[in-house]
């Protein structure tokens, strides 16, 4: 049995020295075997390695998802961003395709094990220990997060409980009967399970869950959503985020709820202004750009994730950990932010408003175009016990005005009429894009 033990944390200088060393080893592995990145590195003169991280930031061009998809379309089926011969690859995953065509991702045993080790760090930072029983409340599909989390849980010595292929009610019973102590799912599905428990008169206090690790969408670091989940389950929520194309990226800081920390022993992280591409200051928002240091089989250098984050303070946490802090987790996506009457509105802030008012079972934000301007309206589904609909709508409108100084139209729909999702919830609907 293998467990992940956290050694004393390195200083900021030691972190960056380690990153530079790993980056140069990665470049040595890539050139000339990986056609995609060999061409990029030669174009900017870095095929022989880099002298400093600053040189890397200044000379290395970005990599975008659109670029990778185009490469795979031009070189079916897996593209040219592969460092080794085809026979060395043992795993295939793909992205969801929620922001375009899905991206196929191949891994070797070594690159897979590197990602599993990163997930081991996520579990350890959340306080999960040998003897814990981890319930995975999802069906296993082609997305990387499921499989790497499962393998990491087994590697760390936890009892792994699969929850695929059954109803939400059956999952609740399995959680209770198997005395699961840790629940892994999306934030939305954690709330959905609690909703089903109420509908079926199942008392969740029977469950022994003490920790929920949530990922896949904003919510775990959204204060109101987090509070709802923790109240429903009587357990601590730990947020996490990763991407199929790059791996498990962050864990929640144990002593700063709602703050994600990038695993900087495995990634070089930048938070850049979307327009100037310059580094933002602590407290400012920008796009998260990542370089994976241990996935040589499928490397990504200066990858524009499309995730909007707020850079945290440079000071270490109370334990002395210097890993890059992201306040509020993943705030949104670059393609999700919408200007409504001059105000930038993001899904996570709307979610915090909706879940801060009691009586909301679920909702759907619809963005459309009227006379050349983007407008938003909210469809809200009240809880079955909500008796004062007028008070509910008034409370929501008050919170929206307080948050955005906007009046947002709210339509009340029948309880149970909005769709429920096991995976990423489609609450943010761009009707303006569907029409084009």
Identify the structural domains of the chain with CATH numbers, from first to last. 1-333 (3.40.50.12780), 338-434 (3.30.300.30)
- Cis bond upstream, residue 60 (ω within 30): no
Instruction: Tabulate helix, strand, coil % of the chain (nearest 5).
Output: 35, 25, 40
Spatial separation of the C-alpha atoms in residues 291 and 50, rounded to whole Å? 14
- Sign of the alpha-carbon dihedral angle for 139, 201, 209, 384: positive
Query: pLDDT at position 434, please?
Result: 64
Spatial separation of the C-alpha atoms in residues 262 and 293, rounded to whole Å? 13
Distance of CA 170 to the CA centre of its chain: 26
Regions in the chain scoring below 50 on pLDDT:
1-5
Query: pLDDT at position 422, please?
Result: 66
Spatial separation of the C-alpha atoms in residues 226 and 159, rounded to whole Å? 26
Query: pLDDT at position 1, please?
Result: 43
Place of tokens 């850049």: 272
Query: pLDDT at position 109, please?
Result: 99
Query: pLDDT at position 213, please?
Result: 98
DSSP state at residue 61: P
Tokens of 11: 């200083």
* Among the listed residues 151, 56, 141, the one whose alpha carbon sits nearest the alpha carbon of residue 97: 141
DSSP state at residue 264: T
């Amino acid at each position: 049995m293998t467990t992940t033990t956290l050694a004393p944390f390195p200083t900021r200088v030691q972190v960056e020295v380690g990153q530079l060393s790993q980056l140069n080893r990665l470049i040595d592995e890539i050139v000339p075997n990986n056609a995609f990145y060999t061409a990029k590195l030669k174009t900017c003169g870095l095929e022989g390695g880099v002298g400093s991280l600053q040189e890397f930031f200044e000379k290395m061009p970005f990599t975008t998802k659109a670029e990778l998809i185009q490469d795979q379309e031009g070189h079916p089926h897996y593209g040219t961003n592969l460092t080794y011969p085809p026979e060395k690859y043992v795993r295939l995953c793909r992205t969801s395709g929620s922001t375009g065509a899905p991206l196929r991702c191949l891994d070797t045993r070594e690159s897979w094990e590197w990602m599993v080790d990163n997930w081991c760090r996520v579990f350890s930072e959340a306080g999960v220990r040998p003897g814990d029983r981890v319930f995975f409340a999802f069906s296993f599909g082609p997305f990387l997060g499921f499989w790497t989390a499962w393998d990491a849980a087994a590697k760390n010595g936890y009892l792994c409980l699969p929850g695929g292929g059954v109803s939400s009610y059956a999952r609740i019973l399995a959680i209770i009967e198997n005395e699961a102590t840790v629940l892994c799912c999306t934030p939305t599905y954690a709330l959905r399970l609690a909703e089903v428990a109420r509908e079926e008169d199942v008392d969740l206090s029977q469950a022994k869950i003490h920790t929920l690790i949530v990922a896949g969408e904003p919510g775990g670091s959204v204060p109101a959503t987090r509070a709802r989940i923790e109240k429903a389950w009587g357990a601590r929520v730990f947020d996490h985020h990763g991407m199929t194309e790059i791996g498990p990226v962050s864990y929640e800081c144990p002593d700063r709820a709602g703050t994600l920390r990038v695993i900087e022993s495995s990634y070089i992280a930048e938070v850049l202004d979307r327009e100037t591409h310059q580094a933002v200051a602590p407290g400012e928002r920008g796009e998260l750009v990542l370089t994976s240091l241990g996935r040589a089989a499928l490397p990504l250098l200066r990858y524009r994730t499309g995730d909007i984050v707020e850079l945290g303070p440079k000071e270490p946490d109370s334990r002395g950990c210097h890993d890059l802090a992201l306040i509020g987790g993943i705030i949104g996506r670059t393609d999700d932010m919408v200007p409504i009457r001059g105000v930038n509105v993001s899904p996570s802030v709307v979610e915090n408003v909706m879940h801060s008012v009691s009586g909301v079972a679920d909702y759907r934000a619809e963005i459309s175009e009227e006379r050349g301007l983007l407008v938003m309206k909210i469809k809200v589904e009240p809880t079955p016990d909500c008796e004062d609909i007028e008070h509910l709508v008034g409370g929501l409108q008050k919170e929206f005005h307080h948050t955005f100084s906007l009046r947002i139209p709210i339509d009340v729909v029948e309880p149970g009429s909005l769709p429920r999702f096991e995976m990423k919830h489609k609450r943010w609907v761009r009707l303006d894009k569907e029409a084009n």
